[in-house]
Amino acid sequence: MHWPAVCESREGGTAHRGRGGNRAMPPPFRIAVLGAPGVGKTAIVQRFLHDDYSEVALSSKTRRVHLSAAVLNGHVHDLQITDYPAISSFPGSTLQEWSDVCCRGIRSAHVYVLVYDICCFDSFEYVKTMRQQIIETSPSFPFLQCLMVAVIALKSEALV
């Protein structure tokens, strides 16, 4: 089977990839981007999806879902990258997750990307707390082989 070399961003709805046949497509690989307000979550997502960086800070008040694809080992993998606004705490249950519009789908992520500003201790404390809450509420806890958490530090504009 030939998989097209696609690596484009698809915002919004899904698109047919031409993988042949009417077989069901595997679900997308879900990535949740979390962090304190103003640390650069949206900038990281925009840089990854569009190779674009804006000097203008964007404040996210709602979650934004981006659909894209990546080629790994000759196979196309669909990605669903969700840029979440700052949340007060990680939802401890499905009921909490779905009662807050901003948190919907957060507990089903395959990977959590936690972003903080190296010049802001509070943003580091935020991601440290968020990481602990993710681990404690994960269905795979205490067997965390399936849970991936990446912590990314960004340089503050104040250092430039």
Domains present along the chain, CATH in parentheses: 26-159 (3.40.50.300)
User: Distances from the Cα of 117 to the Cαs of 65, 114, 156, in angstroms?
Assistant: 23, 11, 6
pTM over 0.85: no
Contact 115, 45 (CB under 8 A): no
Where does the pLDDT of residue 20 fall: very low under 50, low under 70, confident under 90, or very high at 90 and above?
Answer: very low
Give yes or no for residue 25 having a pLDDT over 90.
no
Percent of the chain whose predicted confidence (pLDDT) is above 90: 26
pLDDT over 70 (residue 6): no
Q: What is the pLDDT of residue 26?
A: 72
Can you give the pLDDT at residue 3?
33
Segments in the chain forming alpha helices (H): 41-50, 94-99, 121-137
Most confident stretch, 31-35, 41-45, 91-95: 31-35
Lowest mean pLDDT among 3-7, 44-48, 75-79, 138-142: 3-7
Mean predicted confidence (pLDDT) in 100-116 = 89
Unique residue bearing structure tokens 């991601």: 127
| pLDDT tens digits along 40-85 | 888 888 888 888 877 776 677 888 999 999 887 888 889 999 999 9
Q: Can you give the pLDDT at residue 33? A: 94
Of 49-53, 93-97, 120-124, where does mean pLDDT reach its minimum?
49-53
Distance of CA 51 to the CA centre of its chain: 16
Residue for token pair 């962090």? 35
Q: Which of 34, 33, 32 is nearest to 126 (CA)?
A: 34
Distance CA(134)–CA(34), nearest Å, equals 11
Indicate if the pLDDT at residue 92 is higher than 50.
Answer: yes
